[in-house]
Structure 1
Amino acid sequence: MDAKEKPQMTSSMPQRRPDCIKCFDALWFCYSPFHQMQNYYRYGEFDNCFGKWGDLVDCLALKTKRAAEAEEILIAREKAKPHIWTFRTVDEASENWWRMYKHLVLMSPPLPGAAQPPPKSDKS
């Protein structure tokens, strides 16, 4: 291949478009007996697949837009998502932990040798 024949990577090349086949496959799988029974076992109800329909319709709507406009929408959505590694302060982490596991701590008997909370003193 000559240097003239190699495609040049420039900023004018078209951006990647959303792949609606993946959305269609996810919707198709949502209606499969395997997924429906798994969902019924886990949550006690069948999946209505509304989210998958919404994803497919959204993908098809993005396909009808200009490439630059679709790219802006996709970038804005990516920025709006919270980052997976958001850090918490010690106080925020402690409050979240107690909110999630307080019922387990209060219901369980104290372990032998575990530190006990300090006794409350009535100095009124």
Structure 2
Amino acid sequence: MRWAFWRSADEPGPSTAAPVEEATEVPTLTRFERTLLDEEKVQAPQYPTFKDVPSCMTLFDEFFMCAALMPQVRAIYRFGRLKDCTPKWDDFKYCMSLKSEDEEGRRQAWIKRRTEWWAHRRVGPSSEDVWEAREEPLENFPPLYPEYDADDSQDTAGTV
């Protein structure tokens, strides 16, 4: 390797050398990032205008409906424990934190929040961790029953 000041006048310098093409790596997305992009396509049409985004009062009501006596008693009966209403409270607090945003900013922030929630839910544990999804239907399921004779069904049609 030669240094630039040792180079003779007739040797090409770095500025005259052919440009080296750099290998650009295509960034690979994680499963969560792919799910996030897919989910954003689903969530955005659900909230086309600001009026479709739930108000803070609606979210507050949902929290209290979750924390009310009867839903909690039902949860204890069904699951043996109290229902966790923390996500509903967090939604209400998040809505209150967006009060200073303009309408479109609040709509976009709500879409982003719902997108992330659904993406975490889809990537997280599910029944597919236990059961394998079938690629093809089972053979002869449901089982086919022999056809009724046209004469037999007409004879019993009028009798009680």
Per the normalisation by structure 1, the TM-score is: 0.47
**Structure number, greater radius of gyration:** 2
Q: Which has the higher contact order (CA 8 A, sep 6+)?
A: 2
Per the normalisation by structure 2, the TM-score is: 0.38
